[in-house]
Chain A
């Protein structure tokens, strides 16, 4: 069964600095999708970035980028030029293929990011 592990329960970063959140996963599939979601105090889960395992190139969305290491099964999120609005809970997720032909999503335990002014 697939699993997703986030080993950092909490991280802090100074405003304008860069921070990296870690995520590892376990799977026997060769093609899959990985995601980072942000959950601010409003509780609304927001997609930050996604990565298809088939693509070698690391995904980037403005100040957010990933370091995808397929062989190591590692999927870290880098936030550059951190802003106060980045403070939130961040979840790493794996889209798991099912025999029924569809998917379910497996989440890690989350990393709470604090941004210091």
Chain B
């Protein structure tokens, strides 16, 4: 059974703290993504990576950074957490390229609900 695992389901951090959200996938996928989910705004892409040590900014990268030192692991870093970063964070992975219809989708973790106080 394919799996994307996020290290925490719930996290509470203080303003100004450095926060690490970890994501691991066991599908040997090249692509990994971090999305932020807010009511009424859907899923917005923060950063993604298509190879080890490679990263590209998504639509809302400000205040975030990422790290991909190993193929299976993708970390989202909040350098100095702020209350407006309170949100649900979803990690996903996918193949770099796929033939045909199968395996074209992104696979998701269970989400981390982060509260910054």
B108 touching A44 by the CB < 8 A rule? Answer: yes
B101 touching A107 by the CB < 8 A rule? Answer: no
Nearest chain A residue, comparing its CB with the CB of B45: A104
A33 touching B92 by the CB < 8 A rule? Answer: no
Nearest chain B residue, comparing its CB with the CB of A42: B110
A91 touching B43 by the CB < 8 A rule? Answer: yes
A-B contact pairs, 25 of them (CB 8 A): A9-B40, A43-B110, A43-B111, A44-B108, A44-B110, A44-B111, A45-B92, A50-B105, A95-B104, A100-B56, A101-B96, A101-B97, A102-B97, A103-B94, A104-B31, A104-B33, A104-B45, A104-B48, A104-B58, A105-B33, A105-B45, A105-B94, A106-B45, A107-B43, A107-B44
Contacts known (A101-B96, A104-B48); A47 close to B42, Cβ less than 8 A: no
Residues of B within 8 A of A105 (CB): 33, 45, 92, 94, 106
Q: Report if B35 contacts A (CB, 8 A).
A: yes
- Chain A interface residue count, CB cutoff 8 Å, equals 26
Bound form: Cα–Cα A43–B6 in Å: 12
Contacts known (A42-B110, A44-B108); A102 close to B101, Cβ less than 8 A: no
Residues of A within 8 A of B41 (CB): 109
Interface residue ranges of B23-37 to A (CB < 8 Å): 30-31, 33, 35
Residues of A within 8 A of B101 (CB): 50, 52
Q: Report if B78 contacts A (CB, 8 A).
A: no
The 10 closest A-B pairs by CB, nearest first: A45-B108, A109-B42, A107-B43, A43-B111, A102-B96, A102-B50, A107-B42, A47-B105, A33-B104, A105-B106
Residues of B within 8 A of A43 (CB): 88, 110-111
| Min CB gap B68→A, angstroms | 14
A110 touching B105 by the CB < 8 A rule? Answer: no
Bound form: Cα–Cα A102–B50 in Å: 8
Q: Report if B90 contacts A (CB, 8 A).
A: yes
In the complex, per-residue mask of B41-65: 1 if CB is within 8 Å of any chain A CB, else 0:
1111100101000001010000000
| Min CB gap B39→A, angstroms | 9
